[in-house]
């Protein structure tokens, strides 16, 4: 009942706001920038890790179309390291509040400001306006377009976030073909990951199954006990490594998983983001919730099995072609709640379902390895 009331109030607010702003939207004059006049681009992405990973596809499209321009990304403290070593970005700025934004960003005189937030909220659209860019574009939703002067798309069609972002930059004269989310690791980082796995005695000739049980919101988390049970069953199958990854804030969560999984699982806790990315690059399969590491793994072309409950689908589904998503699609989903008392959408996902998905992925990986070995022998 509370959910229905909240939904009704939200819809009423959006309708009222749209009605009040609509006359000004009708008077809005839009224009389209030519590529040769854009020398300085600001891309707003000061939110979470997964959002930044998915936005790398749009950044590549921008770089390809505006090769002469300087591309700056406004990132957050939590997600800015995703862009390290990314050849499509010239500068990364870390957001430090609206007063800092007005003082530091507006004087830079950006030619083009891009708001990639798929939302009805006005804050980011207003920031695009506040940046003082000659051209401003974003998703047009419930009057947000009053702050833009380049015609943007309406993100009403259900699709993955990457598709929406490519729709946005395509209206700037960009071609989207061949652009997918990407993250970049240095040889030094890759070497560190190999040496770290070796120090744990992990046999890299075996398939490596990685489990990341964390997520940004509690409502997005499958239980630690069930992750532990999946890990235990995988270890019982033999011929695979099972490693557990988590940040400094997730040490207690990793301990809970390990209690069920047993001694065979290798735990890497207290990891920094770039370290987690490097270790992920060495694994064959990631089992996780809908989270930043899910999108990192997908961008690294690593197979995944993920559990989705309150999250909007297909908006936040991973983009890779080898990703398996388990979701119940209950009538209350997606609720987008941060915390849920009932949590039926995640509780109804069983250990058997996840384990069967993991086994299916393992079978495919073994088949791929056999084909590769056979090809090498025939050559």
175 occurs within a structural domain: no
Statement to judge: residues 295 and 352 lie in one domain: yes
pTM, rounded to two decimals: 0.92
What pLDDT is attached to residue 26?
80
Q: What is the pLDDT of residues 270-324, one digit of tens each?
A: 999 999 999 999 999 999 999 999 999 999 999 999 998 777 678 888 888 889 9
User: Packing angle between helix 49-65 and helix 292-299, nearest 10 degrees?
Assistant: 40
Any idea which residue has 């009605």 for tokens?
19
Statement to judge: residues 122 and 221 lie in one domain: no
- The domain boundary, picked from 170, 201, 224, lies at 170
3 occurs within a structural domain: no
User: Is 337 a residue whose pLDDT tops 80?
Assistant: no
Statement to judge: residues 27 and 100 lie in one domain: yes
Statement to judge: residues 228 and 343 lie in one domain: yes
Statement to judge: residues 267 and 335 lie in one domain: yes
Whole domain around residue 300: which residue ranges?
188-378
Statement to judge: residues 364 and 235 lie in one domain: yes
DSSP3 helix / strand / coil % (the chain, rounded to 5): 45, 15, 40
* Banded model confidence at residue 69, pLDDT cuts 50, 70, 90: very high
5 occurs within a structural domain: no
What pLDDT is attached to residue 168?
96
Q: What is the pLDDT of residues 160-191, one digit of tens each?
A: 999 999 999 999 988 888 889 999 999 999 99
Q: Does residue 305 sit in helix, strand or coil?
A: strand
Statement to judge: residues 33 and 153 lie in one domain: yes
Statement to judge: residues 93 and 235 lie in one domain: no
- The domain boundary, picked from 170, 204, 227, lies at 170
**Torsion angle, alpha carbons of 136, 312, 296, 262, to 10:** 160
Tally of domains within the chain? 2
- The domain boundary, picked from 137, 170, 203, lies at 170
What tokens does 31 get? Answer: 């224009």
Statement to judge: residues 126 and 193 lie in one domain: no
Instruction: List residues bridging with 113 in a β-sheet.
Output: 42, 136
12 occurs within a structural domain: no
User: Packing angle between helix 292-299 and helix 273-280, nearest 10 degrees?
Assistant: 50
18 occurs within a structural domain: no
User: Packing angle between helix 251-261 and helix 224-237, nearest 10 degrees?
Assistant: 40
Q: Does residue 207 sit in helix, strand or coil?
A: strand
Statement to judge: residues 63 and 210 lie in one domain: no
Statement to judge: residues 228 and 374 lie in one domain: yes
* Banded model confidence at residue 372, pLDDT cuts 50, 70, 90: low
217 occurs within a structural domain: yes
For 194-204, letters b (16+ CB in 10 Å) and e give bebbeeeebee
116 occurs within a structural domain: yes
What pLDDT is attached to residue 34?
86
CATH number of the structural domain spanning residue 80? 3.40.50.2000
Secondary element (H or E) of residue 120: none
Statement to judge: residues 344 and 223 lie in one domain: yes
182 occurs within a structural domain: no
Contacts of 227 (CB under 8 A, 6+ apart): 211, 213, 257, 260, 261, 287
Mean pLDDT of the chain: 89
């Amino acid at each position: 009942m509370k959910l229905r009331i909240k939904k009704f109030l939200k819809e009423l607010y959006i309708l009222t706001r749209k009605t009040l702003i609509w006359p000004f939207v009708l008077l809005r004059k839009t224009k389209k920038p030519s590529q040769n006049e854009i020398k300085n681009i600001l891309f707003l992405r000061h939110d979470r890790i997964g959002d930044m990973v998915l936005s790398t596809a749009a950044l590549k499209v921008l770089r390809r179309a505006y090769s002469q321009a300087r591309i700056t990304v406004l990132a957050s403290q939590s997600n800015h390291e995703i862009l390290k070593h990314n050849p499509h970005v010239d500068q990364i700025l870390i957001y430090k509040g609206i007063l800092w934004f007005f003082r530091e960003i507006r004087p830079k005189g950006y030619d083009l400001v891009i708001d990639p937030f798929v939302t009805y909220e006005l804050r980011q659209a207003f920031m695009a306006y506040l940046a003082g860019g000659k051209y401003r574009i974003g998703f047009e939703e419930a009057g947000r377009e009053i702050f833009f002067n380049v015609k943007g798309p309406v993100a009403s069609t259900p699709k993955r976030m990457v598709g929406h972002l490519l729709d946005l930059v395509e209206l700037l004269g960009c071609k989207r073909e061949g652009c997918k989310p990407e993250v970049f690791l240095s040889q030094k980082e890759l070497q560190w990951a190999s040496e770290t796995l070796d120090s744990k005695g992990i046999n890299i000739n075996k398939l490596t199954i990685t489990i990341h049980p964390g997520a940004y919101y509690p409502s997005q988390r499958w239980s630690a006990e069930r992750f532990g049970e999946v890990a235990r069953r995988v270890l019982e199958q033999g011929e695979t490594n099972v490693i557990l990854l988590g940040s400094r804030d997730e040490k207690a969560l990793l301990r809970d998983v390990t209690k069920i999984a047993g001694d065979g699982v290798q735990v890497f806790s207290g990891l920094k983001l770039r370290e987690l990315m490097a270790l992920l690059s060495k694994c064959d399969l990631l089992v996780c919730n809908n989270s930043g590491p899910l999108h990192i793994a997908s961008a690294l072309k690593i197979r995944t099995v993920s559990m989705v409950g309150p999250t909007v689908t297909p908006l936040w589904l991973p983009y890779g072609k080898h990703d398996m998503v388990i979701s119940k699609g209950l009538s209350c989903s997606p609720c987008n709640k941060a915390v849920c008392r009932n949590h039926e959408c995640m509780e109804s996902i069983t250990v058997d379902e996840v384990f069967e998905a993991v086994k299916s992925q393992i079978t495919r990986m073994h088949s791929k390895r056999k084909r590769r070995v056979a090809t090498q022998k025939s050559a």
